[in-house]
Structure 1
Amino acid sequence: MAYNYFGKKILILGIGLTGISCINFFLKQGITPKIIDESKNPLFVTKIPKNIECSFGSLEHKWILESDIIIISPGISSFRPILIKARLLGIEIISDIELFVREISTPIIAITGTNGKSTVATMITKIAQNSGYNALLGGNIGCPVLNLLHQKRDLYIIELSSFQLENTFNLKSKISVILNIHEDHINRYPQGFEQYKKTKLSIYHGAEICIMNSHDQLNDIFDDKNKHYISFGKKNSDYYIYKNDTSFILCCKNEKILNSSELLLSGYHNYNNVLVSIAIADAMKFSRQYTIYTLKNFSSLPHRFQTIQNKNNIDWINDSKSTNVNSTQVALNSLTKKGTIHLLLGGDSKSGNFNILKKYFNKKNIKIYCFGKDGVKIFKICKKKSIYVENLKQAMLLISKTVKSGDTVLLSPGCSSLDQFSNFEERGNLFIKLTKEMT
C-alpha cells in the first residue's frame, strides 16, 4: 500500500460505479468507510456490504464534519457549502483518481477536453496495445480507475472530466492532453467558464509532457522549463491539418502523415481527434507503422455522430454524446447533404448558450425539434424553425411524417440527458430503436 489510511475516518460521498470501487478499495485494506448518497434508493445499493453504515436521501452534515478523508463522486459538486466548510476545517476531500495515483508508479496518459475525450482515449489505447503495450483504459469512460489496480499493465490511459480533476492533486502523468475547452457545465462552477477552464488546466500539474490545442490560446501555461510542450491545431503548431482539393492532410511539422480519405471516420472533428492521437503516440515513441494502421481501421464509437441507417437516401445520425452546444455545432459542420436537416435538440442545457447556433439555423434548411427540461428555452431562441415537444419519441413521430429523400435526421441534443434518461447511451439507444421502427 502506497499510502496509509489506517485510523482515519473515511467517508464516501456518492454510490455510483465510482463509489462502489472506492468501497472495495478500502475493504481490501481492512478499512470500513461510511457512505452517504443523496438518492433515497441508490442504483447500486445491493452492492454495498451489510456491515457498512449508510445514510441515504440527503447529505448527512454530522458525518461529513466528523471525517478525516472524504472521497467524493464526480456527480457531487465540490462547491456545496458543507464541503467548503469541511475543507476550512482541514478535512481532506479527494477523488477516486487521487486515490488511484497514490497507489501506482505505472506511466499515465491523462486526457481531458470538452469534447472527444472517449474517442481519443480509445484510439490511444488501441495504438498502445497494437504497439505491444499492456495498456488499460479507465476513468470517465465508464471503468472506475480503482478497478484497474492489481491488473497486469505497463501503461494507463485515463479519461478525465473536469469534475474528477476538481479533487485530483497528484496526477504526475507521463503525458497530459487537453483536446479543447468550450463552454460546458457552467451551472456547476460559481465563477463560470474561467473556473471550468482553470479546472481543466490542472491536468498539466506534474505532467512531463503537455499536449495542447493551439486554438484554445493556453499560452499562459508555458511556465515550466522542465516540461515538454507539444501543440496541435493551427498551421504553425507542431501538428496541424490543411485542406487540399478533395480531402484533409494531417501533418507533423512539414511531414505529411495521413490523408483523411484513408480513414473510416468522417468529419473535421474526427480528423482532429486522429491528429492529436498521432501527437500522443509520437510523444510515447510508438511505432508510426502501428499508429497509422490502428487509426486507418478505427471506426466511430457508439453515440458519437454514428450513422444508424441510410434508407431511401435519408441519413439517420445518432450523436447522443453531444451534451454541450459546441458538440452540436461540430455535428452541423460535418453534414454535407443539401436536404432538410431534422435536428433533435434538448435536455438539461447546463446553462449553455444556444444563441451561438443561430447562424447555423439561419444558413441551413433546418427544422428543430426541442424537447426535455430546457426544450422551451431552446424553442424561444429559434422559434421560426422549431417545434416544442415533451420528449424524444414525440419528436421522432413528427419527423417520420415529414422526412423525405435527401434529408438528414440528426440527434445532437447539445444537452445532458439526465432530465429524462439515465445517461446519453439510453437516449441514443431509444433513438436507434425508434429509427428502426420508422424506416
Structure 2
Amino acid sequence: MSLIGSDRVRAVVGLGATGLSCVRFLASKGIEFYVVDSRDNPPGLEQAKEYCPEARIFAGDLNILETLGVTELFVSPGIPLSTPVLSRLAEQGVAMRGDIDLFCDYVDAPFVAITGSNAKSTVTTLVALLLQACGKKAKAGGNLGLPALDLLEANTDFYVLELSSFQLETTPALKADLACLLNVSEDHMDRYKDLYEYQRVKQRVYRGCKAAVCNKQDILTAPLLPEGVPVRAFTTKSPDLKEFGLLKDSEGSWLCRGVERLYHTSDIALKGAHNYANILASLAMLELLGVDVKSAGVAQVLKTFCGLPHRCQTVRVHDKVTYVNDSKGTNVGATLAALQGLGTSNRKNILLIAGGEGKGADFKALAKPVADFVRVVYLFGKDAARIADVVPKGTEVKLLESLDQIVSSVDQDGQEGDIVLFSPACASLDMYKNYEARGDHFAQLVNALLVNKL
C-alpha cells in the first residue's frame, strides 16, 4: 500500500531508534512529515535533520501537534496513547499508528510476529537462526536489534519480529503469517490498569494471522481465531497429538512432537525448563512454516545456541558456586521462570539477587518459588522493601545499598553447589541506564572476585 497522498498530514512522534527508523523510511519514500518530540534534545535529533527539513522538526512540547493539522501520527512505543494531546487528537479522528503498522504496509515476504512478557528476544533470535540453518534468508528485529523498517530488503524469505505490547498498541491489524504469544504475566503495570488490559494488548498479535502458536500452560495466551486457522501449542509437560512438549523415559528427557521424540535434552546447549519451553515454541513455529524440525541444521543450532546475554547467562563458576546473570529479568514472570528453571526440588541452593524499579508490579507470586528454592534473598534499589515484604518466613533477607555490597556479601555466604541468580524482577532505571549496563556491572563484580583472590 502506498502512503503517498496529498490529503494526509503526517508526523513522527518521538525519536530514538524506532522514531528515527520511521523518519528514514518515510523520507526514502518521498513522503512529507513532521517530527515532534517532548524533549528539548532527543536522541537522534541530529540524524533526523538529515532526512527532514529543520523547519518541520519541533522539540520540547508535544502540544505543537494540535497546530499542525495532522491526520496521521507514527507514535514511538515509549509514548503512551493516553498522553493528553494524543488522546485529544485520537478523539478528532487522527490515526495513531506505529512503525510495525508501517512495516505491514510494505512487507512483501512472510513474517513471524512473536510477543510475550518474557523470552521473546531469545525465541525471536532462535527462530531466525533455525531458519537460516535450513537455508532460508531470515532477518530478525523489531523490538530486538534493528527496528522492523530497517530490515525491509528484497529477496528475504522470512522476517522474524519481536513485538512489545507498546508496539502492538499502534498496530490495529497485524495480519502476520505466523503469530506467537509465549506467556503473559504482570509487566508495565505503570502503563496498564491491570493484567487483563495488558493481556488484551498482547492478544493483538493474533489479529488476522494465518497461523498461531500458544502456550498450553498459560491460558492467557490462548488465541480466539476463526475456524481453520492452524494452531500449535507447546508445553513443558507431556504433549498431546500435534503439540510440542517434554517426555521422560529411562533414557532421560526428550523434546517431542506428540509421542515422537525429537531431541534429547543432553544434546541441547540451553538448559532449564524455561529454556526447553522456548525451544519447543520455536520448533512449533518451524513446523507451521513448513520447515523440517528434525533437519541437521536445526540439530546443530540447538546443540550450539547458548542463549542471549543477560538472560540466565552463566558468568562463571567461582569456588564451586555458579553465578548467573539474568539482568533481563525485568518483571516478576521472568524471575519466576528463572527460579523454576534452575531450582532443584528439596534443595534450597539459590542465592537470589533482586530489586530495582518494580513498575507497579505485585511481587506476591515470588513467595512460593523463593520458599522452595532460595536460601538467601539479597535486595537493593527502589522497590527492595516491597519485595522483602513477600519473602516467606524462614528465608533470610538482606537489604543492601548497592550491587557491589551484595556481590561481596554473596561471596561470603556462598557454599559449594550454590547458584547465585541475579534476576531482579524489576526494571533498572532507578540505578542504571538499562538492563544491559546492570548486567555488565554484575558480571564485572563477579569476575573481580576471582582476580582479587589470585
Q: TM-score, normalised by structure 1?
A: 0.93
Gaps of 5+ in 1: none
Give CA-to-partner distance per residue, 1:67-93, whole Å, 9 cap, x none: 211111111112223222211100001
CA 1:64–1:171: 2 relative to 1, 3 Å: farther
CA distance in 2, matches of 1:27, 1:108: 24
Who is 2:26 aligned against? 26
CA distance in 2, matches of 1:283, 1:105: 19
1:168 equivalent to 2:171? Answer yes
Answer with 199-208 or 379-388: which moved more: 379-388
1:321 equivalent to 2:324? Answer no
CA distance in 2, matches of 1:219, 1:48: 38
1:291 equivalent to 2:295? Answer no
Match of 1:350 among 356, 359, 364: 359
Instruction: Tell me the secondary structure at the aligned position of residue 333 of structure 1.
Output: helix
Answer with 49-58 or 92-101: which moved more: 49-58
Map 1:172-321 to 2 at 5 A: 172-190=175-193, 192-217=194-219, 221-233=223-235, 235-236=239-240, 238-244=243-249, 247-287=252-292, 288-289=294-295, 290-321=297-328
CA distance in 2, matches of 1:9, 1:313: 63
Instruction: Tell me the secondary structure at the aligned position of residue 141 of structure 1.
Output: coil
CA 1:33–1:3: 2 relative to 1, 3 Å: closer
Match of 2:422 among 411, 416, 438: 411
Instruction: Tell me the secondary structure at the aligned position of residue 303 of structure 1.
Output: coil
- The amino acid of 1:303's aligned partner reads H
CA distance in 1, matches of 2:405, 2:229: 53
CA 1:183–1:24: 2 relative to 1, 3 Å: same
1:374 equivalent to 2:376? Answer no
Q: CA deviation at 1:202?
A: 1.1
User: Is contact 2:326-2:423 (8 Å) kept?
Assistant: yes
Q: CA deviation at 1:165?
A: 0.6
CA 1:210–1:328: 2 relative to 1, 3 Å: same
Q: CA deviation at 1:339?
A: 6.5
Match of 2:82 among 79, 93, 101: 79
- The amino acid of 2:407's aligned partner reads M
Give CA-to-partner distance per residue, 1:21-66, whole Å, 9 cap, x none: 1111122223343223333332333322163333334432544773
Map 1:42-121 to 2 at 5 A: 42-49=42-49, 51-52=53-54, 53-63=56-66, 66-121=69-124
Give CA-to-partner distance per residue, 1:215-238, whole Å, 9 cap, x none: 222697444024112222253362
Instruction: Tell me the secondary structure at the aligned position of residue 350 of structure 1.
Output: coil
User: Is contact 2:40-2:60 (8 Å) kept?
Assistant: yes
Aligned pair count reads: 438
User: Is contact 2:348-2:373 (8 Å) kept?
Assistant: no
Identity of aligned pairs, percent? 33
1:126 equivalent to 2:145? Answer no
Instruction: Tell me the secondary structure at the aligned position of residue 334 of structure 1.
Output: helix
CA distance in 1, matches of 2:378, 2:309: 22
Answer with 405-414 or 261-270: which moved more: 405-414
User: Is contact 1:389-1:395 (8 Å) kept?
Assistant: yes
- The amino acid of 2:216's aligned partner reads S
Answer with 50-59 or 338-347: which moved more: 50-59
CA distance in 2, matches of 1:364, 1:174: 40
Give CA-to-partner distance per residue, 1:68-126, whole Å, 9 cap, x none: 11111111112223222211100001110000110122111111111111111111111
- The amino acid of 1:360's aligned partner reads P
Q: CA deviation at 1:176?
A: 0.7
- The amino acid of 2:378's aligned partner reads Y
CA distance in 2, matches of 1:340, 1:406: 7
CA 1:378–1:173: 2 relative to 1, 3 Å: same
CA 1:360–1:222: 2 relative to 1, 3 Å: closer
CA distance in 2, matches of 1:345, 1:300: 21
Answer with 209-218 or 409-418: which moved more: 209-218
Who is 1:9 aligned against? 9
Instruction: Tell me the secondary structure at the aligned position of residue 349 of structure 1.
Output: coil
User: Is contact 1:262-1:296 (8 Å) kept?
Assistant: yes
